[in-house]
């Protein structure tokens, strides 16, 4: 207890310098935590992917469609439990600034495949019964003030024109890792409409979502599906939902890598700041350390004092930074929910924050400790006065 009091007294001997150093550490840990949370958000879809779902798309690229006739053929493959399908619609609400993920899907089977999308039974029945009905996530509905029964018009970017929908249901996530910013409507509504104006684009889908009986046999099922359409006009590529989501992240891999590098650069910079603070403190206390040596205290005791002081400063700043990370992440997530629908500070991020604080303290105290241990008693006492 006495040692702890000494460490705190030493750490705040120069209150202004210590306070500014702690503030710098808090800001650095806050920035580090937010940057790591951004990286985690990129992989949120991967982490939430189900092991019992496969995705089938065109082998060339996802932008090329597949015939709807594949649906029944895939259903007959051994190991397949359920099949659904859909298209990326790519519409915007009012103008291009109001962008969010929107899909046309086969509603009955699609929501059966995604039990994590929780829809009230009455609303679900209303949605299934209305060809122009739509389902929106709770976060999306709250953002635009939508209520069940509202008329919503999306401007088609891929399929030109204004598309009218009636919001029949609002889904919530089974837990806080589920994306609540998506918008779904009937594939049949889109298909019937484009038959009249763009018949060549009708009866086609962008992807098939497949539920398998046994997750451990997913790889064999995927191979069987792709083998069925080998050498056809539209060959397929079937992969797990996790692999499919990773494919999208790979497109932004350079951005993710840059964010990761910046997060570590922030820690390196604050490490230099703390090292400078500890070096200044050590120089000021050269006489104190000389007196301690005169009284019989050894290198171990001086090492504990210097490292302890560094830990007090860095952990104080680190704890403040960690505490600020949660409200900052909440505000950040609300403002950028379109791009980061799931923005949560993970336990892994907190562990990394704590490790970073300890690492800063350890590395910043090495040189000052080495200097304090090597100094001779006579040289130290000469500086007193």
DSSP conformation letters of 155-178: EETTTTEEEEEEEEEEEEESSTTS
Q: What is the pLDDT of residue 212?
A: 93
- 37 with 140, same domain: the answer is no
In a domain, 311, yes or no: yes
- 103 with 207, same domain: the answer is yes
Closest CA to 364 of 286, 310, 284, 323: 310
pLDDT > 70 fraction of the chain, expressed in percent and rounded = 88
CA distance 128 to 187: 12
Is residue 58 over pLDDT 90? yes
In a domain, 73, yes or no: no
Q: What is the pLDDT of residue 198?
A: 83
* Domain total of the chain: 2
Is 271 or 10 the better-scoring residue by pLDDT?
271
Poorest-pLDDT segment among 97-101, 129-133, 219-223, 284-288: 284-288
- 269 with 165, same domain: the answer is no
H or E stretch at 208:
strand 207-212
In a domain, 231, yes or no: no
Per-residue pLDDT, averaged over 197-210, amounts to 89
- 294 with 351, same domain: the answer is yes
Is residue 286 over pLDDT 70? no
In a domain, 365, yes or no: yes
Q: What is the pLDDT of residue 202?
A: 86
- 90 with 195, same domain: the answer is yes
Q: What is the pLDDT of residue 118?
A: 94
SS3 145: coil
- Condensed to tens digits (0 to 9), the pLDDT of residues 302-327 reads 777 777 788 888 888 889 999 999 99
In a domain, 233, yes or no: no
Last residue of one domain, picked from the residues 218, 235, 266: 218
Per-residue pLDDT, averaged over 218-225, amounts to 92
In a domain, 271, yes or no: yes
Number of CB atoms found within 10 A of residue 211's CB: 17
- 190 with 291, same domain: the answer is no
Q: pTM for this structure?
A: 0.78
- Condensed to tens digits (0 to 9), the pLDDT of residues 66-85 reads 999 999 999 999 999 999 99
CA distance 108 to 268: 52
CA distance 269 to 25: 10
Closest CA to 374 of 290, 284, 278, 288: 290
Q: What is the mean pLDDT of the chain?
A: 85
Is residue 378 over pLDDT 70? no
SS (H, E, C) 334-345: HHCCCCCCCCCC
- 261 with 214, same domain: the answer is no
- 93 with 174, same domain: the answer is yes
Q: Is residue 152 within 8 Å of residue 167, measured between CB atoms? A: yes
Q: Which two tokens stand for residue 310?
A: 């560094």
Is residue 374 over pLDDT 60? yes
Poorest-pLDDT segment among 89-93, 195-199, 278-282, 325-329: 278-282
Domain that holds residue 132: 84-218
- 277 with 344, same domain: the answer is yes
In a domain, 244, yes or no: no
- 272 with 358, same domain: the answer is yes
In a domain, 280, yes or no: yes
Q: What is the pLDDT of residue 152?
A: 95
Q: Which of 112-116, 197-201, 306-310, 373-377 has the highest mean pLDDT?
A: 112-116
Is residue 382 over pLDDT 70? no
- 107 with 40, same domain: the answer is no
- 10 with 135, same domain: the answer is no
Residue written as tokens 């779904």? Answer: 184
CA distance 216 to 309: 53
Per-residue pLDDT, averaged over 189-197, amounts to 89
Residue 328 sits at φ, ψ, to 5 deg, of: -65, -40
């Amino acid at each position: 207890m006495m040692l702890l009091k000494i460490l705190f007294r030493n750490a705040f001997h120069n209150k202004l310098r210590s306070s500014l150093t702690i503030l710098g550490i808090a800001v650095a840990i806050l920035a580090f935590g937010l940057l790591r949370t951004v990286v985690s958000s990129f992989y949120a879809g991967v982490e939430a992917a189900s092991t019992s779902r496969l995705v089938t798309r065109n082998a060339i690229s996802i932008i090329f469609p597949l015939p709807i006739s594949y649906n029944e053929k895939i259903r007959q493959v051994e190991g397949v439990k359920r099949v659904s399908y859909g298209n990326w619609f790519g519409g915007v609400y009012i103008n291009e600034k109001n962008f969010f993920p929107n899909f046309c899907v086969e509603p009955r089977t699609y929501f059966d495949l995604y039990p994590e999308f929780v829809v009230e039974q009455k609303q679900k029945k209303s949605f299934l019964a209305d060809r122009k009905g739509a389902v929106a996530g709770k976060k999306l509905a709250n953002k635009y003030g939508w209520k069940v029964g509202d008329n919503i018009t999306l401007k088609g970017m891929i399929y030109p024109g204004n598309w009218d929908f009636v919001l029949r249901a609002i889904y919530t996530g089974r837990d806080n890792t589920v994306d609540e910013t998506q918008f779904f409507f009937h594939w049949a509504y889109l298909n019937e409409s484009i038959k009249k104006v763009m018949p060549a684009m009708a009866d086609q889908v962008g992807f098939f979502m497949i539920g398998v009986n046994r997750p451990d046999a997913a790889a064999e099922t995927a191979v069987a599906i792709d083998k069925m359409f080998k050498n056809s006009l539209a060959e397929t590529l079937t992969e797990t939902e996790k692999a499919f989501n990773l494919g999208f992240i790979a497109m932004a891999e350079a951005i993710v890598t840059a964010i990761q590098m910046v997060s570590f650069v922030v820690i390196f910079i604050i490490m230099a700041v703390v090292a400078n603070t500890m070096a200044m403190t050590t120089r000021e206390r050269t006489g104190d350390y000389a007196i301690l040596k005169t009284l019989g205290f050894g290198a171990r005791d001086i090492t504990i004092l210097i490292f302890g002081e560094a830990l007090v400063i860095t952990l104080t700043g680190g704890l403040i930074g960690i505490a600020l990370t949660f409200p900052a992440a909440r505000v950040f997530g609300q403002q950028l929910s379109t791009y980061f629908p799931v923005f949560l500070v993970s336990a892994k991020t907190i562990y990394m924050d704590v490790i970073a604080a300890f690492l800063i303290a350890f590395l910043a105290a090495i040189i000052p400790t080495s200097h304090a241990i090597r100094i001779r008693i006579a040289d130290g006492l000469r500086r007193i006065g």
